[in-house]
Amino acid sequence: MCGRYALNATASQVIEYFNLRYETDQIRREFREEKEVFPTKVEPIIRSIDGQAIVDYLSWGVKYEWIPKLQINARFDKLTKFKTWASLIKRNRCIIPATSYWEWSELELKGNNRYELYPLKTDIMGFAGLTDTFIDRHGIKRIGFILITTDANPHIAEIHDRQPAMILPENVGSWLDDSISDPREYIHHAGEDELEYKKVPNKIDQIELNFD
């Protein structure tokens, strides 16, 4: 679930939406828009360093030695049940800025089954995420991010059974606060009046990863 997303926004829009106050000049210098983000790409995320919400650049996905596939998503209902997620949810939290994402309909197995999903009330969304360190295939230590997903609302469920978990602007500080060991109450499950979708051309194929 959610194996592609876009960030068609400016640095100023991201700074304003998430109320970022630290190193904003540097954010504006380094920030770049992305028309299509896929796993393994290095992208801007928001996380807390020394109590400050900053923009950092991490790769999408974490590769664990004991799991064959690159992990790009973590299910909300397993955050405290899966040992790895239970550890990360306590202190390794982040927010992934996005303006839309794509799904391939599970009900349309042939033809053009790709949909773009986007917010109705805002221009930007903040996906709830986790970060973790791992060793890549070249033996280099890296930090990656993982998107948290929830059950789809009834409208989105018409094309897919999962959707990204959201962090609303007013909950950014609490979600990133390491002193809060169980921040699940700050995760927002977008309702039917918050997300819409439209069919778009199948420009690319899905790639075989972990789409939970």
pLDDT digits (tens, 9 = 90+) for 6-30: 999 999 999 999 999 888 888 898 8
Q: What is the pLDDT of residues 99-122, one digit of tens each?
A: 999 998 866 656 568 899 999 999
**Cβ-contact 4, 38 below 8 angstroms:** yes
pLDDT > 70 in the chain, percent? 92
Class of domain 4-200: alpha beta
Number of CB atoms found within 10 A of residue 67's CB? 11
The rounded distance, in Å, linking the Cα atoms of 53 and 152 is 29
Decide: residue 117, CB within 10 A, 0-12 exposed, 13-18 middle, 19+ buried.
buried
Residue range 131-141: average pLDDT? 91
d(CA 25, CA 38): 27
- The amino acid present at 133, given as its one-letter code, is T
Closest listed residue to residue 27, CA positions, set 35, 17, 37 = 17
- Residue 203 scores a pLDDT above 80: no
What pLDDT does 212 receive?
Answer: 43
Question: Residues of the chain with pLDDT > 90: what percent?
Answer: 72
Amino acid 21: pLDDT: 84
- pLDDT band for 137, please (50, 70, 90 cuts): confident
Q: For tokens 């970022």, name the residue.
A: 20
Q: pTM of the prediction?
A: 0.91
135 strand-pairing partners? 141
Q: Return the domain boundaries, the chain.
A: 4-200
Q: Could you tell me the two tokens for 203? A: 């420009």
Residue 210: pLDDT over 60: no
Of the listed ranges 42-46, 77-81, 105-109, 184-188, the one predicted with least confidence? 105-109
CA gap 108, 122 in Å, rounded: 29
Place of tokens 């239970």: 86
Q: How far apart are CA 50 and CA 46, in angstroms?
A: 13
- Which residues are within 8 A (CB) of 66 and not within 5 positions of it... i.e. 6 or more apart? none
* Single-letter code of the amino acid located at 78: K
DSSP 141: E
pLDDT tens string 29-67: 888 888 999 999 999 999 998 888 999 999 999 999 888
